[in-house]
Amino acid sequence: MLNTILFDLDGTLLPMDLDEFIQYYFKAITKTMASSFDSKRLIHSIWNGTQAMLENNGQKTNEDVFWDRMQQEYGQEIIHTKSDFERFYQNEFQSIQHVCPKNEQVAALIEQLKKENLTLLIATNPIFPAIATFSRVRWAGLDPADFKTITTYENRHACKPNLLYYEELIKIYDLDPETCLMVGNNVEEDMIARQCGMHVFLLTDHLLNPRNENIDQYPHGDIDALLEYIKKLQSR
């Protein structure tokens, strides 16, 4: 039986060349913040903040962990620039949408799954604020309201591939892992959900496989193959 599907966002619902996205992201944010921050130092600090979130042990939100690290880098006064970063995500961040062209199959997939009354969650790595994450959902041609939750740095206390990330979702939303399917394009970050008892599917259109694992151990393929796998799980 299948009643819940968790989707990764970047490279899964939203087509993305990660290296290209990162390049345009840092170009946009350093240009916007040029009057207040040295570009090289800002990039270094954001990477350090991101690493701190990836190492989060569940005691604080990722948001708090990120800004704690930024205060270590710049001092307590950095917190007063938080609104400047939020304005960046509202405005200049939107200019890099062109590097993430939507896949029309994705919207059709979500519409079909909604009609089947499946519970849908977006389980993206929560290293961005809600405003940036919800924007990327819309870039994919989707409505954030169609998802029971969307993970962001404000509402999560761990990151992939830490199992705490998945365990928190299971606990908060009272999920039965055996009735859940995690769909993602990252072998290391998404397929680890199997260790929590979830079914998994590796979407290979924008495959990320940092450890060069044998992907034959996971159900995998394109969106058409995903639909077939969903039907298979529903028929059990």
pLDDT at 105: 97
Predicted confidence (pLDDT) at residue 22 exceeds the cutoff of 90: yes
DSSP string, 149-218: -B--TTT-S--TTSHHHHHHHHHHTT--GGGEEEEESBHHHHGGGGGGT-EEEEE-TT-B-TT---GGGS
Instruction: Tell me the mean pLDDT in the region 173-191.
Output: 98
**125-157 pLDDT tens trace:** 999 999 999 999 999 999 999 999 999 999 999
Domain residue ranges of the chain, discontinuous segments joined by +: 4-16+101-234, 19-96
Q: Which residues neighbour 159 within 8 Å (Cβ) at sequence distance 6 or greater?
A: 53, 54, 56, 62, 125, 126, 127, 165
Whether 190 contacts 182, CB under 8 Å: yes
- Bridge partner list, 5: 120, 181
pLDDT at 214: 98
Instruction: Tell me the mean pLDDT in the region 191-202.
Output: 99
pLDDT at 127: 99
Q: Which long-range contacts (CB under 8 A, 24 or more apart) does 41-44 make?
A: 41/73
Instruction: Tell me the mean pLDDT in the region 199-227.
Output: 98
pLDDT at 236: 84
Q: Which fold has domain 4-16+101-234?
A: Rossmann fold (3.40.50)
**Mean pLDDT estimate for the chain:** 97
Q: Is the pTM of this model over 0.75?
A: yes
pLDDT at 159: 99
pLDDT at 81: 95
Residue 222 token pair: 């394109």
Q: What pairing do the DSSP bridges indicate for beta strands 220-221 and 119-122?
A: unpaired
Whether 62 contacts 49, CB under 8 Å: no
User: What is the pLDDT confidence band of residue 26, given thresholds at 50, 70 and 90?
Assistant: very high
